Amino acid sequence: MILVSVFYVIAWMPTGIFYLTLNISSNLTMLEAGYYFTVFMVFLYISANPFIYATKFDPVHRILVGLIPWKKSSPSAAGGSADVGGTGINSHNQGT
């Protein structure tokens, strides 16, 4: 979570500083390069944020790994029953 917080500050601080200096000093004109840099930093943060959560935040990581359809072996090859429905209940445990 510290990584997300630090990345948030790094991405949004140039935008705040840029607009603050434009509002304080009335003789400055809006530089296009500065504006595009701050917008790029914000879009970079917004785009990278889901990937940071998916790799660094354990609850999100576990859920995303559980969504990946892993290729399961057939029941006869494994010597037991396979969980086909995705419910976490094997066929021999359904009655109990």
For the stretch 16-72, pLDDT in tens is 888 888 788 766 666 777 778 888 888 988 898 888 878 878 888 888 888 888 766
Could you count the other beta carbons within 10 Å of the beta carbon of residue 45?
17
For the chain, first and last CA: distance in Å? 41
Residue ranges per structural domain of the chain:
2-69
Q: Write down the pTM of the prediction.
A: 0.50
pLDDT, mean of residues 77-95: 52
Of residues 23 and 93, the one with the higher pLDDT is: 23
| DSSP state, residue 27 | T
